[in-house]
Every structure is written in C-alpha cells, then in structure tokens.
Structure 1
Amino acid sequence: MFTLRALLADRRLELRLLVEGRPGALDEEVLWPHNTELPDPSPYVRARELVLTNGLWLDRTEPASFVAGVVRAGGAGIVFGLRTQTPHTPPELVAACTEADLPLAEISVRVPFTALTRAAAAIYTEQRQDALLGMVRRGDALAAAISHGAGASGVLKVLRHDHDLPLAVVDRMGRPLASTGVDLTAEQRAAVADALARRPPPLEVELDGSVSAAMFPVGAVGDFDATLLCLRPAADLGPGERDALDQAARFLSLEVAKRQAVQAIEQRFASELLDMILSGAQRAAEVPERLRAFGVDPGGSLAVCAVAFADPDTPTLPGLAEAVGEFLLAENTAVVVAGGSQDVVAVLAWQRPERELRELATRLVDAVEARFPGHHPVLGLGEPAADATALRRPLVSAREACRVLVRRGGPGVAVFGELGTHRLLLGLHEPETLRGFADSVLGPLREHDLRRGGQLVVTLRTFLDHDGQWAATAAALFVHVNTLRNRLSKVTELTGRDVTRTEDRVDLYLALAADAFQR
C-alpha cells in the first residue's frame, strides 16, 4: 500500500514533514500523486490523491482557500515544492494545514516532482509484485492442501498463515464445514444459510444483530453451495485480505465440487440398492454386495425407516438425506441412505431390541425437525429383517407407513402395523397378487386410454380423491360435469363396477391403491 509515510522514508526525495495531520493520516492509502497549480484544485483532485504544488497560485488565492479545496476533494495531503523564488514553505500554508488536520510536507529545491512520482510508481510496483508472488505462493499451498485431502480445514490453515482472521466455511444448509478462530452458534449458521439462499447472496451478513461478517460465496456447479465467512465487516478488510479470501473461496469451490460428486455417486448407488430390493428375486443376489459397499453387514439383522415431511405439498427438502445420514452415523450405526422425491429411506444394521429402534427413530425425527425449523418430519418403520434377503417387505412397509403419516399429518413415528389402514391389508399380500387384482380391475380402463387417448384412469382417481364430489372433480379436471358423467359411465361399462355404489367404489379404490402400493 502506497502511503505518505513510505515516501517520507525515502531519503532520496529529501522530504520534510511539516504537519502530521490527523492521527493515522500518514499511514492511510494514497491513490496517486496529483500535480496542480489551480487556485481551487477540488474539481480535479480525486479522493486520497496526494497534491503536489509549487505555490504558483499564491498570487491568486489565499493558502487557506487552497487547503479548503484539497480537503473538499478528499485529498490525502499536500507536498509543497520549494523553488528559488520560494525557498521556504509559506507559514500561512503551514497554519492552514494545521487548522485542517491535513498532512503537509515540503520537498527540496534539488528534487523534482517527477522523482516523487517515480518513487510512488516503484512502491506500487514492488507491492504489486509482492502481492502477486504471495498469491502464487498461496495458490500453490492451497492446491497442495486440496490435492492432499486436507479439505476446507486445510484451506483455512493456509489463509491463517498469512492473515490472522476469524474464519469459517458454512454450506447452504447451515452446516459447518470448517472453522478457525471462531465457533459459530446454530442460530448464526442459520443466518448464513438464509443469506446464501438469496439471489444474489449479500456480501455481508448480520449474524446476531451485533456481529457483521463478510461473505465470500463458494460456487460449485452453477450455484452457491457454501460460503467462506470472515467475522469482520467487509469495510474493515484490506485489499490484501480481500484478495486472499477471494482466492481461497475459488479453491474451496473445487473442494465443494468434489464433495458433491462423491455424494451424487453415493446417492445413485443407494437408490440403485432400493431398486434391487424392490425387484425381488430378479436382483436379490446383488443386494448383499451393495450393502457391504456401504459398510452394512448383509448377513445380520437389518432395519428400514422412511422419513418425509407431514405436509404432503412439501417436497423432500435438499439436505434431508444428508441430515438423516449424519445423525445415524453419529449414533455409530452403519447405514445406507437414499433420497427420493417423496421420502428418504435408510437401511441400517440393527442388532439391538426393537424398543431401542423406536427410541432411535424418535431422536432422528427430533434432530431433523431441529435442522429444518417450520417443517414437521414423520418416520415410518418397517419390521426388522433377519438379513438382506428379507428386506423387501420392511422397505415397502416403512414407505407405506410414512405415506400414511404424511396424509394424516403425524404422529412423528409409527410402525406400519399400528396404522390400522387398508394399506396394512394390502401389505399382507404378495406383489403378484396385488398386481393381478389391480390389472383385473384397471386393465380395461388402461387399454381404452391407450387406444383412444382417453383419461379414464386419471378421471377415476381424481373422482375418488375428491370423495365422489362431482363439481369438485370436474373443476380439478377442467371439464364440464356432463363430460365427467360420461367418462364415469364408461368406467362402469368397462369394469362392471358402478362408482355410485359403495361396494363397487371400494373395489375401484383398492385397485388404484394396490397399483400404487407395488410401485
């Protein structure tokens, strides 16, 4: 940083300080020297420029007026160039600068202003060179930290080597990825997550009303997934500190992208495991090996749970799968977690009593609710499986229990057999039986829809979802009531079941439920 004190330290310039100015003025950044002989330099001098003058304006204006113009422009100070005609700095100029708390120095007759300008350029060049060398050195250190697997903590360690700053890395879910010199509270992390959710994110965030922190967003794939946080206001950071933080944020983007890639692969493998389990005998041989890949013993007792939010209109929030996995791993439980559009499923090794499984599930729901304030999670439990070959039924049971809890809005945890729903009866039958029943009832409707481009199945499902109310169903389908009546008459004709009779309506509803149950 180019300062007036740095110029004064250069003996070649033969500068002599006459007025020090306000406290700290000599150490403030100077933008550049500005040579002027105008009586009022304020229209042309930029803020933080150092005014160089020989006093040729002295016959046209008073020194106090000239100094007032420099102050008005925000000048960093004045250097008065002595000449043969003016071998001493005018006392009036010294008095005016003293009154205005503006630094004033005089330069020897033997030294031209160009020497001062060259000295300023040399200081800038040296400092810029030092900054570039520092950036290259820091870049090498950051690259080494990332490549050696030091992660976000390694990046902060490199930063702290050059700058003693309180730092933290927080992701968009409010999770701490690393920190040094600071310990953020849950409320402060939530404030950071809220700030990251804005578009674009702010450059500064108020953590708790009294602490301001500068934000340096960390992007991965076209979005901001985390932020490098410095617990100082952005205005208090020097250019070197800002450059270092910006550079570190870019390296952190590599780390976040790597983490996302690993998580995406794990999620794909976990989702494939659920497909293997649901496929039954077709892919049963693949299940044990996939469980072993996640550290879960396929030969031991296993449990399955499904987690979602009680509001059926709330999709599975980003980060729910990670929250479930982090909780269970913190409980020293080997687990596979797969996130879907409607729920998150966990398959975990379980050798303890079922009572303790229920207690674990309750703590999991509490932990998820704390992570996602304002949302009410529910959890469906399947009956424990003796080993990997018996996972299909617990998986289906857990997901169905979760779906029932979502529709009912709670309670937080339930086992499928406790729910007293028709889905329990459906769950007692083999998939082939359910598929045969659904096909026998709905097959003619599907065939008609496929051949005629109709919507009989959709119409039937919508009619039953609206409790058989004609007007509400027609409005939901955007059709006239007479059109709805014609469609449902066709349903009666093709299935032999009248939608106005309770017994037939039960058959149709169970056929739709059985069709959805096996998917």
Structure 2
Amino acid sequence: MTSEPAVLRLTVRQLLEVPRFRLRLVAGESGLDRPIRWAHSTELLEPGPYLRGNEVVLTVGAALRDADSCVAFAGSVKASRASAIGYGVGDVTEDVPEALSRVCERLGLPLMAVPPEIPFLSFTEWFAERLASTHDERHEREETGRLLRMIREGHASAEVLRARIDETGLDHGSLLAIAMDVPENDLPGLLGVDGDTAILIGSEEHVWAEPAGVGSPGPLEHLALSLAESVAALEVARRTGGVVRGADLATFPALLRRLTPDQVSPFAEQIARPLRDYDNAHGTSLVETLSTFLAMGGAVGATSRSLFLHPNTLRHRLARIESLTGRNPLQFEDRVALAIAIWAGPTN
C-alpha cells in the first residue's frame, strides 16, 4: 500500500469544506471530484513544466493581466493534470478575474477564491501534516497486518491484541475477522494491511465492500481460526463475487470453488472431455447420466427411476463411463474425482 493513493483520497470538493481555508468556488463545478495531492504556488504564466499532477495551483494573478494570459495560464494548468486553481484575492485584484472564471468553467477546471488573510504557505503546511499522518497510519496498519498474519499462522497469541481491541470498543465475546481488498475509506474496528489484503477485526453489524471473506465470531482465543477462515473465504469471494463466510467453507461446493483453473484442468481433460466427446460422437447421454447418478448419492435404484431406465441399462452406462475415464462410479474415491470433473469443470 503506497502513500500516494491514500493522499489522493482528498478531492477538490473536500478541500472546499476545510474550515480553516474558507474557500469559495468560482467556476469549474464539474471537476470537484478531482483528487488533490499537494499545493503549489506560482506566478508563472505557464507553470505546467513545474507541476507533477493533482496539485491545487495557487496564484495571486500577477501574470494574469488580460484575457489571453488567463487562457494561457488555465490551459497550462489543465494540460499538466493539476486539479484546481486557487486565486488569492486582495493582492493584485479585489476579485477573481472574469476571464479566468470563463476559461476555467469551459475547461471544467475548479477555480476557488482564497481569502486575503489565508497565506499560501498554510496550504503546503496542511498538506505536509496530512501526508505525515497518512504515513503514520499506513505504518500502523502494516504492522497490525503482520501481527494478524503471525496470529493466523500460529506464531503469536491473539492476547497481544487485547489492548488494541479494547481501544476500539469491540465486544471481546463476538470478535470476527473480515478479509477484503484494501479499502479506500476508514472502517470501524482494528484494521491491518498485508500486501493487497486488508484484515478487519470487527463485528457483523457493519457492511463491507465486496468481495470479502468473513470468519466465524467468537472470543479472543478463537481469533486465529476466524482469521484463517476469512482469508480462505476471501479467495473464494474473489472468484465468485459477494461475501463468503467461514461457515460456508466446509461444504463440497465450497471446496470446488476454491480450486483454481489449473487444479480443475486435469479433471476436465481426463474425465469430462472423454465423456463429452463420446456423447457428441454417439448421441449418448453419459454426462447427464453421471450427473444424475452423483446427485442421487451413487444410488442405482434412485438414479434409474429418475432417468426412467432399467437398472441394468444404468449399470451398462456406468461401465462405459469407467472404460472411458478409468474411474469407477461405484467406488467412493473415484466418484469424488468424477464429481469434481462434472461439477467444477466444463462439460460442453
């Protein structure tokens, strides 16, 4: 997790709401959701070469003497991917030049009036303070993430988190872990970041962005299991979407969803494909027969009735399936392999 995306959470709209600056929007309302990374003051007519992007460019308008200069200045700011202009009134002019307002409105570039009593230095100081706090927050979340991984892997006791959990006000009796992609906004609870995964120690009361994996709730000593469940559930959720809970993992369908394409491929190629090719070549329905047989728990009688077949006809088809795949549908271990091929792999 890098510092820049965290800083870029601030938008022009949010900067306008910061009380200390008392900014007033003059033009360019359509660009209010542009991110802002830093503040840069300049009186150059074309400041573009000195900008890196996502700045609020501050000026008192010393070089903006006519409409052409306003067009040149705003165009250079926009071309450099800066996010907004802050015009300091009361120094060169008593108000924002009308020509600058017109061109910024046309470009969709937010233009803000900065009161005369607000020094431009206060913007850079504020951004520096914000950047420092972001670095501290990032470091704390990464440290927490490493600690949560150690607890999940059995290298540390969950007791080391007791004081931090107390600070969050969470109920020690119903703690659970939620694994998700690193969120952009603050979430209630104890948050740790490990690579591209965030782990939140929270409760069921909150709603999380999808995909997410949710471990089972319990006391502090249960947390290691909840962490392991949440990470495993997130792997499934990233493939299927939605929120997957730890309680849903101990099922055969959940196990199938955890298989990667590379893991499924041998079953598809060695089992599903021969059956599909045989059906296509001979007009048979071995895949349908096997699917029904599996759904009926390997019961010959129930499958025969469901397919309106004589039991001997069904046994003949099962023998054909064994000859094509090398797996006997009447044997449990072979039936598991056949189920993976039919239910997790492509069959048409």
**TM-score normalised by L of structure 1:** 0.34
> Larger C-alpha radius of gyration, 1 or 2?
1
The structure with higher relative contact order (CA 8 Å, sep 6+) is 2
